[in-house]
Amino acid sequence: MEKKEYCYNCDEDTEYIIEKEIINLELEGVKFSYEALVPYCVKCKKEVSIPEINDLNIIRAYKAHKEALDKS
C-alpha cells in the first residue's frame, strides 16, 4: 500500500515513513513519556503533519499521563 501525504516543504504529495520517538512531557507536575508516531517525508526528510497520526499521538499521550497520575 502506498502511503502518500501532502508535504508543505516539498509542496506536493510525497511518500512518508513513520518513525517512533519517545516524547518526554510534564503536565500538571507529573512527568511521563510516551511513544509517538512521527511521519517523515522520504524526499526532504522533514516531518509531515497527518491529522490521523496526530490524533493517535494525543490518545497515547493522554493514556500515558493518566497512568502516571494513577501511579503517583
Residues binding Zn ion (CB under 5 A): 7, 9-10, 14, 41, 43-44
Cβ nearer to Zn ion, comparing 3 with 43:
43
Output the smallest distance, CB 27 to Zn ion, in A.
31
Q: Positive or negative, the Cα torsion across 30, 66, 34, 7?
A: negative
List alpha helices for the chain, DSSP H. Answer: 51-71
Cβ nearer to Zn ion, comparing 6 with 60:
6
Cβ nearer to Zn ion, comparing 9 with 49:
9
Contact criterion met (CB below 8 Å) for 37 and 20: yes
